[in-house]
Structure 1
Amino acid sequence: MGFFAFLRVGEMTTACGREGSNHAIKIENVEGGQEVSVWIVGSSLIRNAFVHAARSRTGGVNLGLHRIGVKIWWQGYGGMGLKDLESTIKRLMKYEKAPKYLVLHIAGNDLGKTKLGF
């Protein structure tokens, strides 16, 4: 069974703007002093986003969310496909405990390689 998810950030931020917020994603109910772990895992796009955040974002690789106790762990691997997801997550679990949130950008490298069965 395959899982494909596409996130349209432009639509998401527009929808949030109508609700009176300028934040794409709201993180609520974060108790003071409690660290919230977020893993961002995927292809080279994630790796490149990490490098961009490290070089040019005011909030650095934690995107400014460290102020509310959020720690982001970026894991981008060139050429990563859906077939690599399970082994990658298992490998990461050897180094860190399971995150509260997992953001995936995966299967872009699988487009055009997967038979649809029509």
Structure 2
Amino acid sequence: MSSKTDQTGCSTTLILSSNDNDDEICVVKTLKDYLHLRPDCQGQLLCHLNQNKLTRFQFLDVLRSALNFLSLNPEEFNTHSFRIGAATTAALEGKTDEEIQSMGRWNSYSFKSYIIDIGRCGNFVVRIIGSSLITRASSHSLVRPLGNDLGLHKLGYKLMWAGMSGMSVYNVVPIVENLINCWGLPGAVLLHCGGNDIGLVNCEKLLFDIKFMLDIVARMVNGSKMIFSSILPSLK
């Protein structure tokens, strides 16, 4: 199947991460459930039981029905909302421009117009960066009653999560740089990392490298508050 961003039908490979904390919002489980019902035929992923492909207009009609069911205004969404959401989420996770381009099959930097600038919303933005612990915390926050900001929005704070499984101390600087380029300077940065490096790097060298990394990040955030959490050793 070809599209505006893939007119030759070459396609691209996307890696979908499962949400082990909540099956109801796990894209991998949802895709598996759909494939179990989908007819066994070649062609595009979304199709009818009679194997006819799902058209853009039919997809949009289903999308609007779902939005109405959720009491959301269908006029505020369209098929491009998925590309906007994907680009924004990738930027929030600290993906590089090249990675976002590849994921969305953009041939230029036009994808930047898809990224919603939620980092400059007027609240005091706290950027939480860390390893898989932060990834899991971010997933949990999405289903908490008080929302992704854990209720802190009532006090004028906005939490922005950036978790990376297996994050090393040596990943921090490029991730912070990408996030600042996309979203500007946050009010505060909370770093949680180092546990994955214990046992792999000499302790004396690791301590030196952590201090060196913190010095670089402090210069990058240019006066914003910076918090480095206690290191939790990774259990193997």
Specify if TM > 0.5. Answer: yes
Written as runs of structure 1 = structure 2, the 5 A alignment for 1:41-60 is 41-55=129-143, 57-60=144-147
In the aligned structure 1, how far is the partner of 2:173 from the partner of 2:166?
15
The residue identity in structure 2 corresponding to 1:96 is W
Match of 2:162 among 75, 88, 102: 75
Match of 2:186 among 80, 85, 99: 99
Cα deviation for residue 58 of structure 1 reads: 1.7
2:17 maps to what in 1?
A: none
1:115 maps to what in 2?
A: 202
1:89 maps to what in 2?
A: 176
Cα deviation for residue 72 of structure 1 reads: 0.6
Cα deviation for residue 111 of structure 1 reads: 1.0
Cα deviation for residue 104 of structure 1 reads: 0.8
- Structure with higher RCO (Cα < 8 A, 6+ apart): 1
Q: Which runs of 5+ in 2 are unaligned?
A: 1-121, 205-236
Number of matched residues? 83
In the aligned structure 2, how far is the partner of 1:112 from the partner of 1:77?
19
Cα deviation for residue 69 of structure 1 reads: 1.3
Deviation digits for residues 3-60 of structure 1 (CA, Å, limit 9, x no counterpart)? xxxxxxxxxxxxxxxxxxxxxxxxxxxxxxx5101000010110110101111x2211
In the aligned structure 1, how far is the partner of 2:134 from the partner of 2:183?
18
SS at match of 1:85: helix
SS at match of 2:177: helix
Q: Which runs of 5+ in 1 are unaligned?
A: 1-33
Written as runs of structure 1 = structure 2, the 5 A alignment for 1:21-36 is 35-36=123-124
Cα deviation for residue 116 of structure 1 reads: 3.0
Deviation digits for residues 87-106 of structure 1 (CA, Å, limit 9, x no counterpart)? 11001111111111111111
Q: Which stretches of structure 1, 4 residues or more, deviate above 4 A after TM superposition?
A: none
Whose radius of gyration is greater, 1 or 2?
Answer: 2
Which structure has greater helix proportion?
A: 2
Cα deviation for residue 108 of structure 1 reads: 1.0
Cα deviation for residue 115 of structure 1 reads: 0.9
Q: Percent identity?
A: 35
